[in-house]
Chain A
Amino acid sequence: MSTRSGLVDRHIAFVEALRGAGLSVSLAEDLDAVAVLGALDWTDRDVVREGYAASLVKRQAQRPTFEALFDLYFPRMVGGGVASLDPEAGDTADDEASPVRDNAAALAAFREQLAEALAADDRQRLQQLAAEMVGRFGAMPGRGPGLSSWSAYTALQRVAPSDLVAQVVAGLLAEGLTEEEAQRGAGRRVGAFTAQVEADARRRIAEEKGADHVANVALRPSIERLDFMAARRSDLEEMRREIYPLARRLATRLTKEQHARRRGPLDFRRTVRASMSTGGVPLVTHHRPKRPHRTELVVLCDVSGSVANFAQFTLLLVFALRDQFQKVRAFTFIDQVHEVTPYFTPGADIVDVMSDLAASTTQAALWGRTNYGRALGRFAEEHPDAVGPKTSLLVLGDARSNYSDLNEAVLEELAGTARHAWWLNPEHRRHWGTGDSAAAAYGDIVPMVECRNLTQLAEFVHDLTA
């Protein structure tokens, strides 16, 4: 056996990590990637990254996952990295050579440098500073085996780049930008720098423990697979942006499927008439159109704190697809029922809808403690006309009813009246029936579906309309 460069091993480990993170990389694509690497120069890291991306990542939503993993398996540099050929790297190296690397003076000096670089928006310099920052202020030497010796958190706490925002804003204002623009610009720069620091810490840990370890632990799932209940605020915004494209994709898919099934019985008259132009030979057959059947939908959602996000997304998606239904009505509840259909006027601005919806939450609460039994009872009392034999009933919630009376009889009656009934539960199936969850009791009456992320939600809504 000849000696191996390790590149093939690294490549295979990388592809495995991508698969582990939920990208479906086939063997053919794997081979393509190898062909791509053969066709490219290895002098520019960006070119290699784009080449890999072109052959392995076929869905834009997976790109962030890919980027993070690429940084782990093909790091920009190794160790503290004095690798830069930039003339400015000279003084960085000097700093590192000096005996005292981490004291109050060094911290102050570093912050000054950082403020300068942020003000100038010098990407290259910021990248270097991020690496230096983790190396100098994020090091945690002497910890026990199995614990990582680098921490982005420590580094960020000590340098506190967010305190520099005011300084950067002042600089931008001096350049003649408006207050608002300056605030936004500074926020973006500091945010990007923070992300760089986190990435650099990941890189260093990967060097120490192997990339596979970090890939398993430190990466978040892509936005489509992120749990509603685990989402952070920035994730929620990103998810909200995904709703409309998702609805559009679903609508196209549904129309396509309906078309495919629309070929009705043969229209004999039209076929014969059309055959006249080909001498009586019926080359093209004509069919009668089929009338599509459309469902009426009633959505009943729990909007208490724990599941509010999930309810919002489902409502947005359902209303974005309103053309696919005959009629949609939506009600929110905590322990009181409140109709929210009027907020969703066609063509309404999504941001306004969300704020109206949030404001209306107070009307769905009387005491503010989730009570499914009471809410179901009130719903049947106040809106007896809502559920009829043509409607599909959709209940959204985690079925955690604070140990109150479940009022199963009402739900049974509603489910009996409706054409179909489903319960969407945003919790993982393994949590159902634990604690105050009444998932088991309600699940016996209406089929309960697990719906934790956008992918599952889209699948469910698709099956609902089809």
Chain B
Amino acid sequence: MSWFASPTDASARLHEAGYLADGATSTTSYLAGALEKPLLVEGPAGVGKTELAKAVARATGAELVRLQCYEGLDEARALYEWNYKKQLLRIQASEGKEWDATHDDIFTEEFLLTRPLLTAIQRETPTVLLIDEVDKTDVEVEGLLLEVLSDFQVTIPELGTVTATRRPFVVLTSNASRELSEAVKRRCLYLHLDYPDAEREREIVASQVPGLDDRVTAQLVATVARLRELELKKAPSIAESVDWARTLVALEIGDLDAKAIADTLGVILKHRSDHDRAVKELKLAR
């Protein structure tokens, strides 16, 4: 099965799945499916990187397998692990038997705990494999990913090599908190997701928060765009615009004037110094 028929098809189906993709996103998603290459998505927090993977899964009817990366993630959590305790039990239970027989016994599928990477490769139905926040892992894990990403296979010394029957659609996300190695980047297609332009952001907010008045949406998007121009520690992202829109609906604010902005600024700015700067630049009264 091919994932998307063309960039336009990708855009339309992602839209149906509730994800408004721009030209770059739909083209790259289509290519990732067509060339069966992993897709590395980079960008600031909260611009919809993880959501893209979920949307691809929804749009194509595939199942999502997610590997959340964190510092200290190792092979045992990412690929597979032998169920030591069960193996110990098995050995103790077969007291008196030949070692060879026991040895063959305890290294079988029964004692194997599959983790996300192996699970995604073994599955026979369409699968989207999301490797979230790759930049949080240690460099060694990247080495581990290389085999999976280039050949879609996993080698287990006791069992042999497991090769994917159907290649999953792989999405890696990164906040760029550190540079990924050239080796990983080389194997992936690259997509940088950034803050959207005003038009697209308005559509996103409108589709996520249908209850908000059009005029207020426009005001909100304009204010957020203005804030992003300032030198802030953390500029508000799409996720924060949507949160803000929800807040305004909940508070039943019908007009986004200076006072309303000042009252609800905490929803979108999370640093005190950012707060002060916004108040100063937007000339808000406190």
Chain A residues with a Cβ under 8 A of chain B = 24, 26, 28-29, 32, 35-36, 39-41, 46-47, 50-51, 53-55, 57-60, 63, 240-241, 244-245, 248-249, 252-253, 256, 259-260, 278-279, 281, 283, 347-351
Closest to B184 in A: A58
* Max count, chain A CB within 10 A of own CB: residue among B27, B40, B84, B135: B27
Chain B residues with a Cβ under 8 A of chain A = 6-7, 23-24, 27-28, 30-31, 34-35, 37, 40, 42, 71, 84-85, 88, 135, 138-139, 176-179, 182, 185-192, 194, 231, 233, 271-274, 276-277
With contacts A39-B31, A47-B27 known, what are 6 further pairs, Cβ within 8 A?
Answer: A28-B186, A32-B189, A51-B27, A53-B24, A57-B190, A256-B138
- The answer to whether A349 touches B276, judged by C-beta atoms less than 8 angstroms apart, is yes
Q: Of B71, B177, B191, B231, which one neighbours A240 at CB under 8 angstroms? A: B231
Consensus secondary structure, chain B interface: helix
- The answer to whether B190 touches A58, judged by C-beta atoms less than 8 angstroms apart, is yes
Given A39-B31, A63-B192, A349-B277, does the pair A245, B176 have CB atoms closer than 8 Å? yes
- The answer to whether A256 touches B85, judged by C-beta atoms less than 8 angstroms apart, is no
The 8 closest A-B pairs by CB, nearest first: A50-B27, A58-B185, A349-B273, A54-B189, A60-B192, A54-B28, A50-B24, A39-B34
Given A278-B84, A347-B272, A349-B276, does the pair A46, B23 have CB atoms closer than 8 Å? yes
CB neighbours (8 Å) of A281 from chain B are 88
Closest to A243 in B: B231
- The answer to whether B178 touches A253, judged by C-beta atoms less than 8 angstroms apart, is yes
Given A29-B186, A36-B35, A348-B273, does the pair A252, B178 have CB atoms closer than 8 Å? yes
Given A54-B189, A259-B71, A278-B84, does the pair A249, B178 have CB atoms closer than 8 Å? yes
- The answer to whether A53 touches B31, judged by C-beta atoms less than 8 angstroms apart, is no
Q: Of B6, B186, B191, which one neighbours A54 at CB under 8 angstroms? A: B191
* Max count, chain A CB within 10 A of own CB: residue among B7, B187, B191: B7
**Within the complex, what minimum Cβ distance (angstroms) separates A257 from chain B?**
9
**Within the complex, what minimum Cβ distance (angstroms) separates B273 from chain A?**
4
**Within the complex, what minimum Cβ distance (angstroms) separates B186 from chain A?**
5
**Within the complex, what minimum Cβ distance (angstroms) separates A228 from chain B?**
19
For this complex, 25 residue pairs linking A to B, each with C-beta atoms less than 8 Å apart, are A32-B37, A32-B189, A40-B7, A41-B6, A50-B23, A50-B24, A51-B28, A51-B31, A54-B27, A54-B189, A58-B185, A58-B190, A59-B179, A249-B179, A252-B135, A253-B178, A260-B138, A278-B85, A278-B88, A347-B271, A348-B273, A349-B273, A349-B277, A350-B233, A351-B231
